[in-house]
Structure 1
Amino acid sequence: MYLADEAWPDLESYFEAESLALVPLGSTEQHGPHLPEGTDHIIAESFARAAAAETGYLCTPTINVGVSPHHRQFHGTMWVDGPAFRDYVESLTRNLAYHGIDRVIFVNAHGGNVEHLREVGRRVRDDGTMYAIEWMWDESITERIEDVFETPGPHGGPKETSLIQHLAGDLVHEDRIEDARDGGLVEFDEDTGRQYGATTFYDAIDNTDNGVLGDQTDASAAVGEELFEAALANLCKLCEWLADQPFEALTPKPHV
C-alpha cells in the first residue's frame, strides 16, 4: 500500500490492523556521467514500493534529498546538512507514530544518510516512541555482489549502474559507461584516501575525477534484476520479522 495514493478514510483500517511502515530515502546527487542524479532515490523507492506491494505493509512518500555535501563539486548535486536531515526525518517518523505506527524500516539507498538515520532511530527508541531501523539493499546481499563484480564500487559503480539499467534504463547514458570507468577510480582498497591510519579526504572528487568508482562496464540490466530480486526478498523477510516482534522486545533494556 502506497500512502500517497490512498484517501484518508481508506487508511483507517490499515492503522487499526498494522503497526509497520516503510520509509524510502535516497539522495539527489551526481552518480557519474552515465547515471541520473536521482539514482539513490529511484532505487530506494523501487525497493520500498515493491516490498509494500508484496507484503501489504505501508510505504510512505520518498525523501529524495539527503546528506550529500561530499558530492557538491558536481553540477546539480543537492543536499541538506546533517542536523536538518535528522530533525526532518525524526519529525516525519513521529508523525507516523501519531497514526499508530510503532516500527519503521528506513529503506535507504545513500551511504551519507546512514549515520543520521541510526541517530534518529536511537532518539525515537530511547523515548519509547517506536523502533526504527535502517536498511540498505547492497548490505543485505554483500556476498552475491562480490561474486558478480570484480570491483563493485561504492558509488556509481556497476552495482548501482545495473540496478538503474533494470529499474529505469531510459535514464542511463549507455554511451558514457566506458567514460565513467576511464575517468573514475577503478582500483581501490581500504588504504585509498588514508595516510598512516587517518582518512584524508572529505569530498568524492578528492578520490575520483568524475565522481564514480569501480568498473561500470561489468553492469547489465539482467544482473540488476537478479540483485534487485535478491535484496527485495531480504527486505520482505525483514518486514515480516519486525512485524512479528513484541514491541517490548524492541525497547531499550533497563539499566543494570
Structure 2
Amino acid sequence: MYLAAESWPDLDAYFENESLALVPLGSTEQHGPHLPLATDHLIAEGFARAAADRTGFLRTPTINVGVSPHHRQFNGTMWVDAPVFRDYVESFTRNLAYHGIDRVIYVNAHGGNVEHLREVGRRLRDEEVLYAVEWMWNDSIPELVDDLFERNGPHGGPKETALIQHLRPELVHDDRLADARDGGFPEFEASEMNRHGARTFYDAIDNTDNGVLGDQTDATAEKGEQLFEAATDQLVQLCEWLDDQPFEDLLPKEHA
C-alpha cells in the first residue's frame, strides 16, 4: 500500500490494524558518467515498493535527498547537512507515530545516510516513541554481491549499475560503461583508502576522477534482477520478523 495514493478515510483500516511502515531513502548525487543522479533513491523506492506489494505493509513517499556533501564537486549533486537530515527524518517518522505506527524500516540505498539513520532510530527508541531500524540492501546479500562481481565498488560500481539496468534501463548509458571503469577507480580496496589507520580523504573526487569505483562493464540487467529478488526476499523477511515482535521487546532494557 502506498500512503500517498490513498485517501485519508481509506487509510483508517490500516492504521487501526497494522503498525509497520516502510520509509525509502536515498540521495540525488552523481553516480558517474553512466548512471542517473537518482540512482540511490530509485533503488530504495524499488525495494520498498516490492516489499510493500508482497506484504501489504504501508510504504511512504521517498526521501530523495540525503547526506551527500562528499560528492558536491560533481554537477547536480544535492545534499542537506547531517543535522538537518537527522531532524527532518526524525520529524517525518514522528508523523507516522502520531497515526499509530510503532515500528519503521528505513529502506536505505545511500551509504552516507547510514550513521544518521541509526542515530535517529536511537533517539526515537530511547524516547519510546517507536522502533526504527535502517536496512541497506547490499548488506542483506553480501555473498551474492561478491559472487556476481569480480571488481565491485561501493559507489557507481557494477552492483548499482546492474540494479538500475534492471529497474530503469532507459536511464543507463550503456555506451559509457568502459569509460566509467577506465576513468574511475576499478581496483577498489577499502584498505587503500587509509593511511596508517586514518581515513585521510573526505570527498569522492579525492580518489576517483569521474566519481565511481569498480568495473561497471561487469554489470548486466540479469545480474540486477538476481540482486533485486534476493534482497527483496531479505526485506520481506525483515518486515515479517519485525511485525511479529512484541513492542515492549523492542524498547530499551532496564538498567542492569
TM-score, structure 2 normalization: 0.99
Given residue 66 of structure 1, which amino acid in structure 2 is its aligned partner? G
The answer on 1:29 being equivalent to 2:29 is yes
Aligned residues: 256
Separation in 1, partners of 2:120, 2:170: 35
The residue that corresponds to 1:167 in the other structure is 167
C-alpha distance in 1, partners of 2:246/2:228?
A: 30
2:230 aligns with 230
Supply the AA of the counterpart residue of 1:144. Answer: L
1:202 maps to which residue? 202
Give distance in 2, aligned partners of 1:160 and 1:69: 20
Specify the code of the residue in structure 1 equivalent to 2:75: H
Paired letter, 2:89: V
1:219 matched to 2:224? The reply is: no
2-side partners of 1:114 and 1:190: how far apart? Answer: 17
2:53 pairs with 1:57 = no
Mapping for residues 183-198 of structure 1, pairs under 5 Å: 183-198=183-198
RMSD: 0.5
Instruction: Give the corresponding residue for 1:247.
Output: 247
| Alpha-carbon distance, 1:240 to partner | 0.3
SS in 1 for 2:190: coil
State the AA in 2 paired with 1:222: E
What CA distance in whole angstroms lies between the structure 1 residues aligned with 2:83 and 2:49? 27
Comparing 180-189 with 32-41, greater Cα deviation is found at 180-189
Where does residue 135 of structure 1 map in the other structure? 135
* TM-aligned CA deviation for residue 193 of structure 1: 2.0
**Distance in structure 1 (CA, Å) of the matches to 2:237 and 2:188:** 33
Moved over 2 A (4+): none
- Per the alignment, residue 86 of structure 2 pairs with 86
CA distance in 2, matches of 1:104, 1:191: 34
* TM-score after normalising by structure 1: 0.99
Q: For 2:82 and 2:189, locate their aligned partners in 1 and report how far apart those are by CA, in whole Å.
A: 27
Q: Structure 2: how far apart are the matches of 1:190 and 1:59?
A: 34
| Residue 190 of structure 1, CA deviation | 2.9
Structure 1 residue 38 corresponds to structure 2 residue 44: no
Segments of 5+ residues of structure 2 without an aligned counterpart are none
Report the Cα distance in structure 1 between the residues aligned to 2:185 and 2:29, rounded to whole angstroms.
18
Name whichever of 72-81 and 146-155 sits farther off: 146-155
Larger displacement relative to structure 2 (184-193 or 230-239): 184-193
1:157 CA displacement: 0.2
Within 1, Cα distance between the matches of 2:209 and 2:189? Answer: 17
Q: SS at the partner of 1:191?
A: helix
**Structure 2 counterpart of 1:168, one-letter code:** R
Identity of matched residues, %: 75
Once the two structures are superposed, what CA deviation does each residue of 1:63-120 show, in whole Å capped at 9, x if it has no partner? 0000000000000000000000000000000000000000000000000000000000
| Counterpart amino acid of residue 125 in structure 2 | R
CA distance in 2 between counterparts of 1:191 and 1:246 reads 41
Provide Cα deviations, 1:113-160, integer angstroms capped at 9, x if missing partner. Answer: 000000000000000000000001100000000011011210000000
| CA distance in structure 1 between the aligned counterparts of 2:188 and 2:210, rounded to whole angstroms | 15
Specify the code of the residue in structure 2 equivalent to 1:141.
I
Q: Which amino acid aligns with 2:16?
A: E
For the residues of structure 1 that align with 2:181 and 2:213, how far apart are their CA atoms? 7
The amino acid across from 1:16 in the alignment is E
- The answer to whether the 8 A contact 2:152-2:188 is kept is no
1:48 corresponds to 2:48: yes
Mapped to 1, the partners of 2:150 and 2:130 lie a distance apart of 40
In the alignment, is residue 107 of structure 1 matched against residue 102 of structure 2? no
Tell me the secondary structure at the aligned position of residue 24 of structure 1.
strand
Distance in 1 of aligned mates of 2:175 and 2:149 = 20
Counterpart-to-counterpart distance in 2, 1:100 and 1:178: 50
Distance 1:229 1:59 in 2: 18
